[in-house]
Each structure stands twice: as C-alpha cells, then as structure tokens.
Amino acid sequence: MHPREHGVRLPGAYLHPKDPRLAPFFHNVTVERAISKQFAFLSDLLSGERHYFGLQPFNAHHWMIISDELFDYREAIFDGCVQRQGVPEHLHRRWRALHEQFRREIVKSAARGILMDGVERVHHGFSLEVIEVATVCDGCFSEMVEGSRGRMHPRTGQLYCGACAARPAILAASDPAAP
C-alpha cells in the first residue's frame, strides 16, 4: 500500500509537532521537515521503495526521553487521525503494528548516544569554543566577537555566549531531555 493511494497524508505524523506534550521535542525542527521525513520514512516501509535517506529511529530519537505512556499517547493521536480519514480497519491495524516495531528503539528512561558502525557515541555537556569568526549568540542574540569564548551544544550545534551559558533555562529550552 502506498499512503497516497488512500489519500492519507500521514496526518498523525503531521500533527505531532504541534501537540502540547510532543511540541517540546520539536524545538528547532520545522513542521515541514518533520512532515517530509516522516512521510519518506513510512512510505518506504509501506511501499518497499528506498527513497528515505534520513536517520533510523534509534539515532533519530537518541536524546529524547520517551516513556511507554508518551509513545501510547502519540499512537492515540495517530489513531484518531487515521480513523477520521476513513482508513479501513485492517490497514489501520497494519499501520499500528508497523509503529510498534520501533517502540523498543524509541522508548527509554535516559538519553542514549548515536550508534555509528555498531559503536554508541555519547556526547555529554557543552564544548568550550573560541570564536574565530564573529557571530550571534543563539540564546540572547548578542554579538559574540572574534576571540571571545562560547559553549556549543554538541547535538544542535547551537552556540551560547558566556552570559547565556550560565542560564539553565535557556539551555534547557534547546534540549527538553536535559536533566
């Protein structure tokens, strides 16, 4: 089955960046990016084609602390959407089963590293950087002049000036899984 054949445009996946419980994970991710990645990933699984070049679920969600309950919550949103779209029940069940295959890769109680060539690489904390080309702080948007120091978030690449680096609230906003 190809999703488009049934006029279903993966509505649950489209919704989750806007849901209040799921939105914090999508900080710094555009809705368009989330839609196109999900669409490409699931349509490959459903059609057997190979057009998806994004991350596989373990690495895509490695830093996200997602409980079984939150996973079920997201599934319930998805269920509601496909039901409203009139997806036949037997296809609906197959779709759910597909998502279930990824539960054990996505649900976890602590952040994981990225798996590369079978080795898990974990990046903790922030790296200290000396600014070589003047830029703007991703926290407060003030100028970071050449030669000043900043702290870089290893996953997002966001750079913070000395003042922002001391403000946990700003840093936490860039990483909802941070303790």
Residues forming contacts to ligand HEM in the complex (CB under 6 A) are 22, 25-26, 29, 33-34, 37-38, 41, 54-55, 57, 60-61, 64, 66, 70-71, 74, 99, 102, 106
Instruction: For the CB of residue 21, give the shortest distance to ligand HEM in the complex, in Å.
Output: 8
127, 154 Cβ separation under 8 angstroms = yes
Residue with smallest beta-carbon separation from ligand HEM: 54
In this complex, which beta carbon is closest to ligand HEM, that of residue 22 or of residue 165? 22
In this complex, which beta carbon is closest to ligand HEM, that of residue 8 or of residue 106? 106
Helices (H), the chain: 11-15, 31-47, 57-60, 68-84, 89-100, 103-106, 162-165, 168-173
In this complex, which beta carbon is closest to ligand HEM, that of residue 9 or of residue 149? 9
In this complex, which beta carbon is closest to ligand HEM, that of residue 131 or of residue 178? 178
Instruction: For the CB of residue 65, give the shortest distance to ligand HEM in the complex, in Å.
Output: 10
* DSSP per-residue string spanning 98-124: HHHTTHHHHB-SS---EEETTEEE---
Instruction: For the CB of residue 95, give the shortest distance to ligand HEM in the complex, in Å.
Output: 9
Using a 10 angstrom Cβ sphere, with 0-12 exposed, 13-18 middle and 19 or more buried, the burial of residue 2 is: exposed
For residue 135, list its beta bridge partners.
144
Instruction: For the CB of residue 142, give the shortest distance to ligand HEM in the complex, in Å.
Output: 26
Number of residues written out for the chain:
179
Instruction: For the CB of residue 90, give the shortest distance to ligand HEM in the complex, in Å.
Output: 19
Task: Determine the straight-line distance between the first and last CA of the chain, rounded to whole angstroms.
Answer: 42
In this complex, which beta carbon is closest to ligand HEM, that of residue 57 or of residue 113? 57
Place of tokens 């100028």: 143
